[in-house]
Amino acid sequence: MKPYCASRFHTVRRRTLEVKVGGVGVGGGNPIRLQSMTTSDTQDLAATVQQSIALAEVGCEIVRITAPNVAAARCLREIRRQFTAAGFGPVPLVADIHFLPGAAMEAVEHVEKIRVNPGNYADKKKFAVREYSDADYDAELQRLHAAFSPLVQRCRELGRALRIGTNHGSLSDRIMNRYGDTPLGMVESALEFLRIAESHSYRQIILSMKSSNPKVMIQAYRLLVERMAREDMHYPLHLGVTEAGDGEDGRIKGAIGIGSLLLDGLGDTIRVSLTEDSVYEIPVARAIADKAMALWDRAPDARGADSIDPYQFARRATNLLRCTDAIAVGPDQPPRVIVRTGAVDELPAIIPQLAAPKLKDTPAEGVLVAIDSAGALARLPEPAPAFYVLELAPSLTLAQLQTGAGALRRGTMLLKKFGAGDAAALAGFAPLARGHGCMVAAEIAPADFAALGDTLRQLGDRDFVFTLAATPATAGHAAGGYRQLAEELRRLESRAPIWIRNTAATAVHGDNSFLSKLLEASLLSGALLCDGIGDFISIETEGDGVRATRLAYNVLQGAGARISKTEFVACPSCGRTLFDLQTTTQRIRAQTGHLKGVKLAIMGCIVNGPGEMADADFGYVGGAPGKINLYVGKNCVQYNIPQAEADARLIALIKEHGRWIAPEPAPA
């Protein structure tokens, strides 16, 4: 396969053709464009115009409006007129089309861009299982060509742009039966429509590969770029994690998927889909885009690709390393959470907070504390149930450490920075740690591995952990630095675990706000975890230990690396939604948020509902105004339940399938 990006170690932006959405250029040399979507009923003209204005005022550069039927599509003429009259003529509008070519043909007359979902547009999605012969498949493609060509031709005549927007949750039966519910199926679905457009010499096209699962979304976009490169296609990409949810979890999941691709130089316009008022999506999107664009001027290198398969997930193989009787890393073990604390003398007050009842299911497993003298070792209180990570000051010599080594607890991790000239120190330091049952957390810049390689081979990797000693300025970006670190360990044939540290040195761009810290952690740790790298994680930019602990667990959950609470798949609201998604999501979370390992989908309508819930355990889907359908996996098991009864019926369904546990009383 051709490489999907220019560098895995630097952000080298993928070159694309420019697509004009009205007067707004996407791709080419343009900045990353920010998008969002109105949530009102499109036929409520006043509400839709007002929401469009509100989005434009907070920096939304492209506004999308659903057009579920021809009547709604006709309303776009007046919405466009009023939006322009209010002073927002330069901001393009996009019609979101799913099932009806007739609605698309009406909408294209009024707005600057049409988004079609290839799984729904003039196609079938009934979860039917059948074998398609080559002749059957070709007949289906001919039917699609006839159905899609009129829209393509009209877009070309009017100078409109088009987004071919594939959703993981709405692949057609034809695609599902031949390719399965896979990233490859998503890509083939888009390419079918893309080839039809190219047959008419129409190229004002943007593509998207959205999923509620960041791993699937990342793999699908990478594969799409590789497949397009084979055919000399260079279309811009619209990035988004659909049904990401709300609050901290929604921001993390969106940032992991979008940020991972932007770090690789992929992506030209983005939407952060939150189950909140859509104006709140724009500041998050702005911060993500700014962080990515701050890396564009980094010079690429010639190291080529790493050994990770970017098109399918496989976790990096490591040794089993035991920190305590209950905490280990390695095969079949989840990534572990380390939390930086204050000074040694503050630990008696801090450690109980990190293991308090409010952190019962998400405790700090490693306690990171700076040590500047041998005497400090003797003052360390019992860390149970966690283990200690002792950051040894550069001034602390090996002889001084030996003086206080009797106070070292078995399972302690000793963090020490080693440079190219520290082979002798490494050779003396590692046996000391091992002699006391400790681990060596070696902080090494990838460029120094060559000088330390012989020593590391001699010492072996049995009790080693490695972490990055580099800044974005020397590593392209921190994720690239950790990828290079993993490559250096592979060359040494080392299976030592890797510790991902989110520090001030790994930050890309931004302020000291919690949102910036959250996004930095999501971009770095989330990107690496989705590539299978990472056995320990620490969010050291957040000074509050409890918040840092929770954020680390939330990033792990967002990346699908460790499940510590209920997983929610909740779509952002739009004009198709049949109930208030925000209040419903919050209400259901309050009742079910304690069900660790259970995945619940809350979907406003049936457009993507059954498909996006494919890997959810249970689904709550709007079936009609005031009516809810309940699902188990893809199967609808209860229809048209009055919404007032739906919460209780959902809980009863969870109990019926043996997944319910009673919530514990809140701590006093």
Q: What is the pLDDT of residue 278?
A: 93
How buried is 50 (Cβ within 10 angstroms: 0-12 exposed, 13-18 middle, 19+ buried)?
Answer: middle
Q: Is the pLDDT of residue 465 over 70?
A: yes
Class of domain 335-497: alpha beta
Highest-scoring range by mean pLDDT, 331-345, 475-489, 569-583: 331-345
- The pLDDT-based confidence of 53 (bands split at 50, 70, 90) is very high
Token pair for 641: 């339940």
Residues 237-263 have a mean pLDDT of 91
- The pLDDT-based confidence of 328 (bands split at 50, 70, 90) is very high
Percent of the chain with pLDDT over 90: 63
Find out whether 241 and 273 touch, Cβ atoms under 8 Å: yes
Q: What is the pLDDT of residue 374?
A: 85
CA distance 154 to 317: 53
Higher pLDDT, 20 or 212: 20
Find out whether 500 and 479 touch, Cβ atoms under 8 Å: no
**C-alpha 94: how far from chain center:** 25
Nearest to 118 by CA among 177, 45, 48, 174: 174
Residues 553-562 have a mean pLDDT of 95
CA distance 103 to 365: 55
Q: Is the pLDDT of residue 573 over 70?
A: no
Q: What is the DSSP annotation of 68-111? A: -SHHHHHHHHHHHHHHIIIIITTS-EEEEESS-HHHHHHHTTTS
Counting other chains too, the contacts that 368-373 makes at CB distance below 8 Å and 24 or more residues apart are 368/338, 368/339, 368/340, 368/341, 368/415, 368/538, 368/540, 369/340, 369/341, 369/342, 369/343, 369/344, 370/343, 371/344, 371/396, 372/396, 373/400, 373/404
Q: What is the pLDDT of residue 605?
A: 67
- The pLDDT-based confidence of 172 (bands split at 50, 70, 90) is confident
| Cα–Cα separations (whole angstroms), residue 614 to 169, 245, 630, 667 | 7, 16, 13, 36
Residues 265-294 have a mean pLDDT of 94
Q: Is the pLDDT of residue 667 over 70?
A: no
| Cα–Cα separations (whole angstroms), residue 351 to 78, 359, 391, 407, 480 | 61, 12, 17, 18, 33
Residues 274-299 have a mean pLDDT of 89
- pLDDT, tens only, 1-40: 567 888 888 899 999 999 999 999 999 999 999 999 999 9
Segment (H or E) for 392: strand 387-392
| Cα–Cα separations (whole angstroms), residue 372 to 369, 401, 468, 653 | 10, 10, 21, 56
Percent of the chain with pLDDT over 70: 93
Q: What is the pLDDT of residue 217?
A: 95
What is the chain's Cα-based Rg? 26
CA distance 172 to 346: 59
- The pLDDT-based confidence of 301 (bands split at 50, 70, 90) is low
Q: Is the pLDDT of residue 390 over 70?
A: yes
- pLDDT, tens only, 60-110: 999 999 999 999 999 999 999 999 999 999 999 999 998 899 999 999 999
Domain boundaries, the chain: 19-293, 335-497, 567-656
- pLDDT, tens only, 125-153: 565 667 778 888 888 889 999 999 999 99
- pLDDT, tens only, 644-665: 999 999 999 999 999 998 887 6
Average pLDDT value for the chain = 90
- The pLDDT-based confidence of 318 (bands split at 50, 70, 90) is very high
Written as one letter, the residue type at 101 is P
Q: What is the pLDDT of residue 560?
A: 93
CA distance 380 to 91: 60
Q: At what angle do helices 423-435 and 449-459 cross, to 10 degrees?
A: 30
- The pLDDT-based confidence of 514 (bands split at 50, 70, 90) is very high
Higher pLDDT, 383 or 223: 223
| Equal fold, 335-497 vs 567-656 | no
Q: What is the pLDDT of residue 299?
A: 59
Are β-strands 93-97 and 113-116 bridged in parallel, bridged antiparallel, or unpaired? parallel
CATH 3.40.50.300 corresponds to the domain 567-656: no
CA distance 590 to 586: 6
- pLDDT, tens only, 585-597: 889 988 998 888 8
Q: What is the pLDDT of residue 519?
A: 95
Token pair for 600: 């619940």
HEC string of 250-270? Answer: HHHHHHHHHHHHHHCCCCCEE
Class of domain 19-293: alpha beta
Q: Which DSSP symbol is given to 49?
A: H
Find out whether 150 and 101 touch, Cβ atoms under 8 Å: yes
Are β-strands 269-270 and 627-632 bridged in parallel, bridged antiparallel, or unpaired? unpaired
Q: What is the pLDDT of residue 584?
A: 86
- pLDDT, tens only, 496-511: 999 999 998 898 877 8
Are β-strands 567-570 and 536-539 bridged in parallel, bridged antiparallel, or unpaired? unpaired
